[in-house]
Amino acid sequence: MNSIVSAFRSDPSGTAPKQHGAVPMLELNDSNKIPMLAYGLGTANSKYASDDVIKATTTAIKAGFFHLDGAEMYGNETELGKAIAASKIPRSSLFVTTKLDNKPEYVGQVDAVFTQSLKRLNLEYVDLYLIHHPAMAGGDPSRLQSLWRELEAIHASGRAKSIGVSNFLAEDLEALLAGDPKVVPAINQIEFHPYYQRQAVITLCREKNIAVSAYAPLSPVIRVPGGPLHTSGLLPGLAKKYGVNEADVLLRWVIDQGIVAITTSSNEVRVNSYISNIPNFKLTPKEVETIAETGAEAFHRCFFQSNFKEGDTR
């Protein structure tokens, strides 16, 4: 089996991080370092009132989630900014990500759009700015390359320390890179979990020294609880072995492949357990491989399903 695990390369392309009793860091291709466990303010929080999102995010920051992932598309930049202010944690200790909304009319207007994001966040800079989805370029490679040059200009201004992409397939990355960019994307944020392992795009990212971050890593326990990881007893067994929750095992499975894991919760106990548990155990290479093999018995894409035809597992 040509699994992701068997394709390990040096950071940020797959080497499992060393453990030091704290959230591990990953060095990006621009030499900036990113915490490998992030708190996301995505769709999971969109159903909550603004004050509740601010409270939950502030709680996460105080618990030790210093990598914070927001997005213009989900309307959570204002809440993220207020939570950062309420936490009293120094800005220099935080790693803040936001994303350019998936609106075709933004092509040619990215600087102005980004300025509004900074205003909502009440920040002078972000650590990472991402193109949320390649669809905003309408399938036109030259338009995608032009869009990327706008992000390069923001990067050059110092207002985004790193720049990257999100939801890019291998062919999207190839189209962007064909434009001979000055700055290679630092990271590609994608849906990734044992039931959607994305081998083609992850392999290309590793070849190009582009890091990967994973959203929806807990899908096997949240959205597909009856899948083979449970029917086989594998996931409950590993949780019992390490004295952690099943969610912890899934997050560790992502991190142990050199991939940044993004999760969320409004439950204070759960948020604290992630911070206390994740740094203090590590799956064996065989366990990482077995989760991948068992997960590959099922396929479940949880987001952007309408963008793919039936049978398309990219």
Domains, the chain, in order of start with CATH, read 25-307 (3.20.20.100)
Residue 166 β-bridge partners: 189
Return the pLDDT at 312.
74
pLDDT tens, position by position, 242-288: 999 999 999 999 999 999 999 999 899 999 999 999 999 999 999 99
Query: How far, in Å, CA of 115 to CA of 123, rounded?
Result: 10
- Give the β-pairing of 67-69 and 260-263: unpaired
Most confidently modeled range among 8-12, 71-75, 193-197, 223-227: 193-197
What 3 state SS string does 195-230 have? CECCHHHHHHHHHCCCEEEEECCCHHHHCCCCCHHH
Pick the closest to residue 217 from 165, 254, 258, 170 (CA basis).
Answer: 254
Residue 91: predicted pLDDT: 96
Render pLDDT for 83-119 as a digit per residue (tens, 0 to 9).
999 999 999 999 999 999 988 889 899 999 999 999 9
Q: In this structure, is the dihedral angle defined by the CA atoms of residues 57, 63, 64 and 65, taken in order, positive or negative?
A: negative
Which one of 39, 74, 106, 215 is the catalytic residue?
Answer: 74
Structure-block tokens of residue 24: 């591990």
In the chain, the percentage of residues whose pLDDT exceeds 90 is: 79
Q: Is 48 a catalytic residue?
A: no
Q: What is the pLDDT averaged over residues 218-241?
A: 96
> Tokens for 16?
């499992």
C-beta of residue 157 within 8 angstroms of C-beta of residue 188? no
Q: Is the pLDDT of residue 144 over 70?
A: yes
In this structure, what token pair is assigned to residue 253? 């499975």
For residue 95, the surrounding DSSP H or E stretch is strand 95-100
Residues 267, 247 contacting (CB under 8 angstroms): no
Q: What are the start-end ranges of the H helices in 30-76?
A: 50-63
- Does the annotation list 300 as a binding residue? no
Q: Record the pTM.
A: 0.91
